[in-house]
Structure 1
Amino acid sequence: MKKSGLIQVIRNVFKLNKLLSFGIVMTVIGAVISALLPPLVLERIVNLLISGNNVAFPLVISYFALLALTSIFDSSRESLLVVFGQKITHGLRSKLCEKLSNLPADTFVKQEPGTIVSRFVNDVDTVESLFTSGIISMFADACKVISIFAILFVKNKGLAFVLLLLTPLVFIFTRVVQKRMLAAQIANRIAVGKVTNHVPETMKCIRTIHSLRKEKYMREVYDRHIQDCYNAVEKTNFYDAVYSPIILIVNAFVVAVIMLLSASGVPGIQTFFGMSVGTAVAVINYISSVFAPLESIGMEIQTIQSAVAGVERIDEFLSLEERFETDTNIDLNTLMESNRACVELQNVTFGYEPNSTILSNLSFAINTGEQITLSGRTGAGKSTIFKLLLGQYKVNSGKVLLYGQDASRLPDNIKRKFFGYVEQHFRMIPGTVLEQITLYDKSISREMAEKAASTVGLHSTISKLEQGYDTPCTSALFSQGQWQLLSIARAIASEPKLLLLDEITANLDADTEQTVLQALKRASENRTVISISHRLYQHMGGREISLS
């Protein structure tokens, strides 16, 4: 994935919301123009009063009307930017979800869950702020500053030159502040990712932590992450607190100096700084109007800098290597008609890291209808073989074939119908009992789900629930053995050709194990079965393949 992923999302939002984009442009232009006019009207009113002339009522009304119009334009711009930012957020999160579904399995092993979550939450929020209070707002403020400079050059050339001299200094000061704030914000995002990851990992391993009495250690680690967040936020708050007062002090200093020079009475100085009372009132308004946008620009640059960190992390995520391409032309019926063995490993060598080897020149074949048990020491590669069969990884060398087809080329729409995979623990998803079995797969009908539940002996239990198969699932709904039966029902609901069993009786007592084994025997009929469990081998018979 190229780094253009974010740009593509923004372009699509612009294309799909042309009227909204036009509205933002018009409100920005309207806000800039309307903000320039009230001081000019006020200048006219003051000069008329000083000269003893009457002020026309429509002139007064126009002054307040322009102020109201400026507020309307500003409010409209902010409202439209919020809507635009939400559309950017929706498009970006959709893009990230699409990317997430295309990532290989090892990405989720190497990346902390909290880090991935922070991409969808914190980083996307900063990109939204890039548009709602960043680039567009900064552009509007920059246009306002340039326009004010043009007016001041006409009204008071000396003041215009003074501001032109000060602007580079303000810019340099702003740059120093933003660079330091960016570094602090990046450090904060890293720390937030660690905190986000620490809590669920702690809850997941809470029993082990209690058993080893590591509560204090886990608390200290969490405190360190929180302290890192606090330190980074404190730095950001410090620079934020320093920036605004300095800008306001410079604003007051310039006003004071200009007023003193204007009232000095020196002919040379008066040429550059002399002005009428009405012009002085207008100039004071414009000076405030210059420094307010400059202050806003500084804060907007801070927002942009913060968003840049989020953009970089999102681009980094979007540029992650995707899963290898599958062959969408593979047909399941054609695949099953092949005379080749159901599973073939030909001189397979594989390791998760470049310098490690789990499987070395491994070869074996499994015919259709065979029941095979993989045996061997921990780390011999039994679960790794399952991952290779499921196409989650590519081998370093050799071939992993399913009826003669490369396992990694098998498309997702075929995998659910080809594989049934039962793990040690049932992984519950949000939804009803029926949805636990179907996994929201529309190709699996209610009848198919009920048939699977009947095969494992769970249909009557489910039917006795208050809402039957439509009962919302909770962790207390079934016993441990019943959850494992439900796991088998989920695996066989799509009527798969190959059943993979990964130590499914490891955590069961003897009586529950017998119930599960009987259900498994029924579920394995007319299917090719590969299991990782010596007890399953003893119960079901079949052939054993030993891994050294």
Structure 2
Amino acid sequence: MKSKKDNGVFETIRMAAMSHHLLTAGTILCVAASVVASLLPPLLLAGIIDRLTAGIPLTFAAVLLYFGSLALEGGLSSAQESLLVLFGQKMTHALRSEMSRKLTRLPASTLAGQNPGEVAARFSGDVDTVEALFTSGIISMAADACRIISIMAVIAVKNTGIALVLLLVLPLFAVFTRHVQKRMLAAQLDNRRAVAAVSGQVPETLHNIRTIRALGLESYRERRYDRCIGESYAAMERTNFYDAIYSPVVLALNAVVAGIVMLLSASGNAMVLTFFGMSVGTSVAIINYISRIFAPIESLGMEIQTIQSAMAGVKRIDAFLAQPERTIPAERRTAARGDVELAHVTFGYGEKPILSDFSMTVKQGGQVTLVGRTGAGKSTVFKLLLGLYQPQAGTVTIGGVDVARITDRERRTCIGCVEQHFSRVPGTVLEQITLGDPQITAEMARNAAKLAGIDEAIQALPEGCDTVCSDGMFSQGEWQLLSIARAAAADPAVLLLDEVTANLDAETEARVLEALRRASAGRTVLSVSHRIYENLGGRTVKIEPQSM
């Protein structure tokens, strides 16, 4: 079920527009003023030419007024573009913030089942199309529609015959424009799909680079890249072709209509002049308006295309925002500390069972090592204890509290985890330990570093704990010690150790095991291993893989 806090794309944008009401109102007023200002220069020029043909001298005020109208039109047009860009940025900022909020509240099972490249594309490409929905979409389309109607109204007042000619020509031009733009849209969508395929292959290649090189699959990956890039190139070639033929057609049509206006207005036929007769100044103004009316029609077609493309992005983002969130438990007065218990737990990924009616109890302060073959479910037990997944049957509790009811705020003080590989985050050494948690002070982080035996290595750095982490800063064993410090920083009641010495040499393993013994003192400890860590003590629990 959709959370009450969930907002769709348009609801998020509506709320953002209301919170920036001055910007919203200013953008709308500027667009309206820009439309009105675009009508003034041709009218003023017509008046000047008619006065000159009538023998009235040109005044400085008339010239100043005409050039002032051009400056006003240019200034308002520039202001419109700037405000639309600013408005679009505010909307996309609000949308990305809402998506980030949603991302942090999705269950781990939901995130694990999604393609990282596709999720990243929703934050980048799809949100960018929504920004275009406002910068060159809905608002611009309304402005161009008003501009077309205004120009047609002025031409109809000045010369009804020319207005009728335009009513015949412009629909044909609009149909041609949409035909070209639909072909361009199809080509652009093909290009986006090809680019998305390439983008998806990049993290896939990086994740499996060892396997690719070990099996000599570089040429295979290269062929896959080439195929996707070739599809992108072919799509862009189609786009360039339609773009190349469109502009000459517009220029030719503009010239033809202007020529028709000139011929009809200069005709000696009295009946023709009844409909098409006009002054020289009016002819200049109408030709000017005709040249101006093609641009908004072209833009109108592109804006419809932009809206269509953006709506696809809106649907994808709405689908992302509509995903059910994990349940955020209410704050409790009692902390989750005590015995760790899995009672009759059944769990599997998809239809494959991993644990079936599995039960285990670890008394508070006890130490247990889970052993078994790969795929038996050792790491799955940890994921259930961390609350990343919910059991399909049975319960998982710490101190009698269901792990699903442990709040985010108390989770680190309840349970800590040392993984096989250290997951580095951007930032300093101190931030590696605290992970930005305001509950963990710098003093707590330093004490955790001493407990893990990594404090001397940290002090030897140029800026100590404030040194920005980089590759090669620590040895593999020191990174593992830093992981122990991270897990122990919040003084958790339960400590999970996931194959923490699997990739270490004997000397480094002894150092890490010594740090683990210090960190494990007084805590409930569960270890995962293919072999028994006899030096850590405690009992062992063997997990057998489930048969299909």
TM-score, structure 2 normalization? 0.93
Query: In 1, Cα distance between the equivalents of 2:178 and 2:405?
Result: 51
Query: In 2, Cα distance between the equivalents of 1:519 and 1:170?
Result: 77
Asked if 1:366 is matched to 2:366, the reply is: no
Preserved contact between residue 420 and residue 498 of structure 2 (Cα < 8 Å): yes
Which range moved further: 191-200 or 278-287?
191-200
Change in Cα spacing, 1:106 to 1:246, as seen in structure 2 (3 Å) is farther
Q: Name the SS for the 2:370 alignment partner.
A: strand
Query: In 1, Cα distance between the equivalents of 2:427 and 2:532?
Result: 31
One-letter code of the match for 1:427?
A: S
> Which residue number corresponds to residue 240 of structure 1?
243
Asked if 1:146 is matched to 2:149, the reply is: yes
Among 476, 480, 484, which residue is 1:480 paired with? 476
Among 161, 167, 174, which residue is 1:171 paired with? 174
One-letter code of the match for 2:423?
A: R
Q: Size of the alignment, in residue pairs?
A: 541
One-letter code of the match for 1:21?
A: T
Preserved contact between residue 387 and residue 403 of structure 2 (Cα < 8 Å): yes
Asked if 1:180 is matched to 2:183, the reply is: yes
> Which residue number corresponds to residue 349 of structure 1?
346
Query: In 1, Cα distance between the equivalents of 2:431 and 2:239?
Result: 47
Asked if 1:459 is matched to 2:455, the reply is: yes
> Which residue number corresponds to residue 20 of structure 1?
23
Measure how far apart 1:72 and its partner are. Answer: 1.2
Q: How does 1:524-539 map to 2 (within 5 A)?
A: 524-539=520-535
> Which residue number corresponds to residue 328 of structure 2?
326
One-letter code of the match for 1:381?
A: G
Preserved contact between residue 181 and residue 239 of structure 1 (Cα < 8 Å): yes
One-letter code of the match for 1:485?
A: L
> Which residue number corresponds to residue 308 of structure 1?
311
Query: In 1, Cα distance between the equivalents of 2:486 and 2:206?
Result: 26
What fraction of aligned residue pairs are identical, expressed as a percent?
Answer: 55
Which range moved further: 185-194 or 364-373?
185-194
Among 409, 416, 426, which residue is 1:430 paired with? 426
One-letter code of the match for 1:538?
A: E
Preserved contact between residue 181 and residue 302 of structure 1 (Cα < 8 Å): no
Asked if 1:41 is matched to 2:38, the reply is: no
Q: Name the SS for the 1:118 alignment partner.
A: helix
Partner deviation per Cα, 1:310-352 (whole Å, 9 max, x = no partner): 32332222222322x132233343x33xxxx622222222122
Preserved contact between residue 115 and residue 194 of structure 1 (Cα < 8 Å): no
One-letter code of the match for 1:312?
A: K
Query: In 1, Cα distance between the equivalents of 2:424 and 2:365?
Result: 30
Which range moved further: 171-180 or 215-224?
171-180
Q: Name the SS for the 1:372 alignment partner.
A: strand
Q: CA RMSD in A?
A: 2.1
One-letter code of the match for 1:471?
A: T
Among 91, 95, 103, which residue is 2:106 paired with? 103
Partner deviation per Cα, 1:436-462 (whole Å, 9 max, x = no partner): 111111211222212212222222222
Query: In 1, Cα distance between the equivalents of 2:199 and 2:263?
Result: 57
Which range moved further: 308-317 or 473-482?
308-317
Measure how far apart 1:4 and its partner are. Answer: 4.5
Asked if 1:386 is matched to 2:382, the reply is: yes
Query: In 2, Cα distance between the equivalents of 1:9 and 1:19?
Result: 17
Preserved contact between residue 499 and residue 528 of structure 1 (Cα < 8 Å): yes
Which range moved further: 432-441 or 169-178?
169-178
Change in Cα spacing, 1:251 to 1:500, as seen in structure 2 (3 Å) is same
Q: How does 1:270-309 map to 2 (within 5 A)?
A: 270-309=273-312
One-letter code of the match for 2:492?
A: P
Asked if 1:540 is matched to 2:542, the reply is: no
Which range moved further: 2-11 or 470-479?
2-11
Query: In 2, Cα distance between the equivalents of 1:286 and 1:491?
Result: 71
> Which residue number corresponds to residue 158 of structure 1?
161
Preserved contact between residue 376 and residue 543 of structure 2 (Cα < 8 Å): yes
Query: In 2, Cα distance between the equivalents of 1:101 and 1:342?
Result: 29
Q: Name the SS for the 2:268 alignment partner.
A: coil
Q: Name the SS for the 1:357 alignment partner.
A: strand
One-letter code of the match for 2:339?
A: C
Among 57, 62, 65, which residue is 1:59 paired with? 62
Moved over 6 A (4+): none
Which range moved further: 480-489 or 73-82?
73-82
Structure 2 residue runs of 5 or longer lacking an equivalent are none
One-letter code of the match for 2:471?
A: S
Preserved contact between residue 148 and residue 286 of structure 1 (Cα < 8 Å): yes
Measure how far apart 1:471 and its partner are. Answer: 2.0
Structure 1 residue runs of 5 or longer lacking an equivalent are none
One-letter code of the match for 2:329?
A: D
Query: In 1, Cα distance between the equivalents of 2:539 and 2:23?
Result: 67
Query: In 2, Cα distance between the equivalents of 1:191 and 1:219?
Result: 15
Preserved contact between residue 348 and residue 362 of structure 1 (Cα < 8 Å): yes
Measure how far apart 1:391 and its partner are. Answer: 1.2
Measure how far apart 1:286 and its partner are. Answer: 1.0
Among 502, 505, 508, which residue is 2:504 paired with? 508
Query: In 1, Cα distance between the equivalents of 2:147 and 2:14?
Result: 26
Query: In 1, Cα distance between the equivalents of 2:182 and 2:312?
Result: 12
Partner deviation per Cα, 1:485-504 (whole Å, 9 max, x = no partner): 11111111110011111111
Among 116, 119, 126, which residue is 1:113 paired with? 116
Preserved contact between residue 372 and residue 530 of structure 2 (Cα < 8 Å): no
Among 197, 207, 212, which residue is 1:209 paired with? 212
One-letter code of the match for 2:399?
A: Y
Partner deviation per Cα, 1:277-314 (whole Å, 9 max, x = no partner): 22111110111111121122223333333333332332
Q: Name the SS for the 1:152 alignment partner.
A: helix
Asked if 1:87 is matched to 2:84, the reply is: no
Partner deviation per Cα, 1:227-263 (whole Å, 9 max, x = no partner): 2332333333333333333233222222222322333
Q: Name the SS for the 2:525 alignment partner.
A: strand
> Which residue number corresponds to residue 81 of structure 2?
78
Query: In 2, Cα distance between the equivalents of 1:492 and 1:444?
Result: 11
Asked if 1:517 is matched to 2:513, the reply is: yes
Measure how far apart 1:530 and its partner are. Answer: 1.0
Query: In 1, Cα distance between the equivalents of 2:530 and 2:212?
Result: 30
Q: Name the SS for the 2:472 alignment partner.
A: coil
